[in-house]
Amino acid sequence: MTILDGKALSNKIKEEVKSEVQDLQMKKGITPGLAVVLVGADPASAAYVNMKSKACKQAGIYSIVHEMPETISQDKILEILAMMNKNPNIDGILVQLPLPKHVDTTAILEAIAPEKDVDGFHAYNTGRMTLGLESFVPATPYGVMQLLKEYDINPEGKNVCVVGASNIVGKPMSTLLLNANATVTTCHIYTKNLKEHTKNADIICVGVGKVNLITEDMVKEGAIVVDIGINRLENGKLVGDVDFENVSKKCSYISPVPGGVGPMTIAMLLVNTIKAAKLREERERKLND
């Protein structure tokens, strides 16, 4: 069994991003910038935002965090996003989810300029990604694809079972795998007999948020298991959705939690941010030509 080491690969990608940022600064005179919107005081969201800011700083990306109170109105968030859309120092805008219940998440995500949508959640980018066109790809499934690639795992022709079908994890994961010519089965809360689907899979990608959802009996011998889930146990320990101890004995590759998909998500966000900065530079150059 081989561990899909997301931590090691993310460190490699972060180093590449860092040198690309230096290159952009030296050759084009631009510093990529990321603005993060954090609404409310959810400790998990604050921790994720903190990690993202820290990674930006280490890579030389300019980053700002707009912290807003839980009670802020939707109109006020829209107003701030409109300002960020116009701000030439900001290449990427990210709204940390989940948002408070009184805020319409879709309306907020659709208010981000598609060319600054480094999370790839805007319908424009989702549509282009689905069509297999150039777009911003959501960082978590993008990170999974990079992790598979690093270990020479080609999903083409493989039976892949994606467990979880959210707009930010499961659905884009299934789309990317389908675009990579896998035969994809997407399972969710309404799926009857989950095991029937997972047992048939050469690759299982699970992102649900349920401890021990995937057990040894649900995995075929030699399968590749990618655990996207993040769950915090009462003792503070972070675990995924897979019973790692037992499943790892049966599969050929497995991603651990922590140290698997999580660090890849951060790395791909940085990749998306420099991509946005490069596209901005290209647009400006064309305008000036």
Residue positions annotated with a catalytic role: 52, 96, 119
Q: Which of 184, 228, 239, 277 touches ligand NAD (CB under 6 A)? A: 228
Alpha carbon distance 41, 221 (integer Å): 43
Q: Which of 169, 203, 251, 271 touches ligand NAD (CB under 6 A)? A: 169
Contact 10, 59 (CB under 8 A): no
Q: Quick check: bond before 69 cis, omega within 30?
A: no
Alpha carbon distance 67, 77 (integer Å): 11
184 is written with which tokens?
Answer: 């994809």
Q: Which of 31, 87, 179, 191 touches ligand NAD (CB under 6 A)? A: 191
Q: Which of 108, 112, 187, 219 touches ligand NAD (CB under 6 A)? A: 187
Closest to ligand NAD by CB, 30 or 56: 56
Coil/strand/helix, residue 27: helix
Q: Which of 161, 163, 201, 205 touches ligand NAD (CB under 6 A)? A: 163
x/- contact string, 246-275, with ligand NAD (CB under 6 A)?
Answer: ---------------xx--x----------
The distance of closest approach from Cβ of residue 189 to ligand NAD in the complex, given in angstroms and rounded to an integer, is 3
Burial (CB count <10 Å: 0-12, 13-18, 19+), residue 133:
exposed
Q: Which of 14, 66, 128, 188 touches ligand NAD (CB under 6 A)? A: 188
- Quickly tell me which residue has 């968030």 as its tokens: 77
Is residue 164 involved in binding ligand NAD (CB under 6 A)? yes
The distance of closest approach from Cβ of residue 157 to ligand NAD in the complex, given in angstroms and rounded to an integer, is 25
Region of residue 134 (phi > 0: left; psi between -120 and 50: alpha; otherwise: beta) = beta
92 is in an annotated binding site: no
Closest to ligand NAD by CB, 140 or 272: 140
* Buried-state track 202-218, b at ≥16 Cβ within 10 A, e below 16: bbbbbbbeeebbbeeeb
Give the H/E segment covering residue 166.
none
Is residue 210 involved in binding ligand NAD (CB under 6 A)? yes
Q: What beta strand segments (E) does 87-171 contain?
A: 92-95, 159-163
Return the range that interacts with ligand NAD (CB under 6 A); candidates 77-85, 88-96, 177-185, 228-236.
Answer: 228-236
The distance of closest approach from Cβ of residue 119 to ligand NAD in the complex, given in angstroms and rounded to an integer, is 10
Is residue 90 involved in binding ligand NAD (CB under 6 A)? no
Residue 80 — φ and ψ, nearest 5°? -65, -40
230 is in an annotated binding site: yes
Residues flagged as binding site = 164-166, 189, 230
Contacts to ligand NAD by CB under 6 A = 140, 163-166, 168-170, 187-189, 191, 194, 207-210, 213, 228-231, 261-262, 265
